[in-house]
Amino acid sequence: MGFALERVGRWTEEQAFEVEADRARAYAAATNDPVPAHVTGELAPPVFAVVPIWPVLAEAVAAVTPLEVMLQAVHGEQDLHLHRPIVPGATLRSRAAPVGIHVKPSGTAVVTRTETRDEQGALVNEQWSVSFVRGVGDGESVGETAPPHRFPDDLRGTEPLAEVRQRLDDDQTFRYAEASGDHMPIHLDDTVARSVGLPGIIVHGLCTMAHTSWAAVTELAGGDPARLRRLAVRFSKPVLPGQEITTRFWVAGQRDGRALFAYETTNADGDVVVRDGLAEVGAR
């Protein structure tokens, strides 16, 4: 059993995606997003950026990952670099490449980069995804790592700027699967989830991330989603349907004219489920 190191760096073919207002509204509803521009379908929510890339991302990960261990893969990290909001009516073109494979004692991380452009070829967003294959720790490491977004140690023990509590609904994974196109069995089939060592159906990591995105828009960007320019997270523990999560934001400085905010998300037991969160917010 081995990862296909020779395929690292190979881009998929571009795939086109027509952004429909109904699909954008459905994504907002599936992630409990209250931002008016998302509810009405004027703009797609920030994490909707994963929807157009899903086919090419899956193709890129599958190109290097052995089929027999795919069900052992969980979403480790996601990093969205948002050059402009996604507007319904647009035609987007996306491609993906596995850019790194990194072996660790507990498993193997597959780093994938995607690019999404508009009809004129301008970048709409860039994304880095890390898939972690649990329990597969043999082989060689090659290629790039994802961009860093570590939580600053000097913020530990300080008061956060803002705190947002949210509840994941009992049917959240089924609604999110329909809106996003992500029908991985661990989010929908309790038997499959338990067969790979999970406590049962778990919430999609990107659904949890989407909840933190609208918390960032409402608390840090004055309700204007166009100001959110980067959102990066590391998924550290599964979230279960019906759980309550709390996201706390800290001021972390400035860079290139943007305000930086570090954040973490915990469950009701105080366990960190999203760590090393970073939100970059532009000026009005």
The CATH number of whichever domain residue 51 belongs to comes to: 3.10.129.10
Domain count, the chain: 1
Residue 159 DSSP class: P
Report the residue count for the chain: 284
Instruction: Say what the pLDDT of residue 137 is.
Output: 77
C-alpha distances in Å from residue 211, one per residue of 32, 58, 174, 191, 200: 7, 23, 16, 26, 21
Minimum mean pLDDT range among 63-72, 83-92, 170-179, 250-259 = 63-72
Distance CA 125, CA 82 (A): 5
Contact 232, 248 (CB under 8 A): no
Instruction: Say what the pLDDT of residue 1 is.
Output: 58
**In the predicted structure, residue 7 carries a pLDDT above the cut 70:** yes
The stretch 136-156 carries a mean pLDDT of: 93
Structure tokens at 246: 């709390």
Instruction: Say what the pLDDT of residue 139 is.
Output: 84
Distance CA 23, CA 89 (A): 11
Mean pLDDT of the chain: 95
**In the predicted structure, residue 284 carries a pLDDT above the cut 80:** no
Q: 13 is in which domain, residue-wise?
A: 5-281
The stretch 31-55 carries a mean pLDDT of: 97
